[in-house]
Amino acid sequence: MSSATAVGKHPVAGIAVDTSANCAAGKCPNCQIAYSEGVRWLTFAGMVATMFDRRRTSGANPTPTPQKEAIMSKAPPKKNDAVDLLDADHIAVKKQFQAFNKLAEAKAPAQKRKALADEICRALTVHATIEEEIFYPAARAALDDDPLMDEATVEHAGAKDLIAQIEAMSADEPLFDAKVVVLGEQIDHHVKEEREEMFPQARASAMDLVALKDQLAARKQELMAQAEAAA
């Protein structure tokens, strides 16, 4: 190898990749997440990058593992409205899922994994409730897109079912980690559709998203207080 190459650790696959060859901005060209390790110099980077490409394209690891994280879809522009409030929840819970995956990968004590999984479940339950009570009815009335709203409602039901299973489990039971990881993947898919289909339509509609933001915030505060009191 005639010249040194910049190498960083891919934040999702968890392996070394050639940052200079894949993306000059230090972000993965596929998921747009910044590499988690500082750039350093290695001489076998070309070989490592090739290994990464082979692993990514061959489906060599198709089963859900704590390392596997779906790609985070693009955030909507900030407008200080109901969409911003809901998307802030999406970003926060994505970070919690990433933290959980790290705990699972490190085989952290059951008590730690259970505490974080319960926090995730509480946050998702509050988020789904304010969407179902306030945002979805307003969107259904304004958007004239019942198939989109129906699909979102069914996805919420699926997530609630998995949340109930996780809440009822202890973290040292079989499949506990896998259930949390799969919940994260389902939420990624659901958030992508809200971000890419529902939110743009809502912003292009006559919905009063600023007034809705206040309603969502008030109800969220109330539900969080109840959830914390019950925890």
Q: What does the binding site for Fe ion look like in residue numbers (CB under 5 A)?
A: 86, 131, 194
Residue 172 CB, nearest approach to Fe ion (Å): 30
State both tokens at 228. 């914390």
Positive or negative: CA dihedral 202, 207, 212, 216:
negative
Beta-strand (E) ranges in 23-167? Answer: 40-42
- Other C-beta atoms lying within 10 Å of the C-beta of residue 107: 10
* Closer of 129 and 165 to Fe ion (Cβ): 129
C-alpha separations of 58 from 21, 27, 51, 75 in Å = 20, 22, 11, 29
**Rounded distance between C-alpha atoms, residue 10 and residue 26, angstroms:** 10
* Closer of 4 and 157 to Fe ion (Cβ): 157
**Rounded distance between C-alpha atoms, residue 116 and residue 14, angstroms:** 21
- Other C-beta atoms lying within 10 Å of the C-beta of residue 114: 18
Burial class of residue 78, CB neighbours in 10 A (0-12, 13-18, 19+) = exposed
* Closer of 10 and 220 to Fe ion (Cβ): 220
Residue 191 CB, nearest approach to Fe ion (Å): 6
Residue 75 CB, nearest approach to Fe ion (Å): 12
Scan for tokens 């109330």, then name that residue.
222
Residue 83 CB, nearest approach to Fe ion (Å): 10
* Closer of 27 and 219 to Fe ion (Cβ): 219
* Closer of 90 and 113 to Fe ion (Cβ): 90
Which amino acid, 120? I
**Rounded distance between C-alpha atoms, residue 176 and residue 62, angstroms:** 18
Residue 121 CB, nearest approach to Fe ion (Å): 15
* Closer of 86 and 104 to Fe ion (Cβ): 86
Residue 139 CB, nearest approach to Fe ion (Å): 10
Task: State how far Cα 106 lies from the chain centre.
Answer: 20
Residue 152 CB, nearest approach to Fe ion (Å): 5
* Closer of 17 and 212 to Fe ion (Cβ): 212
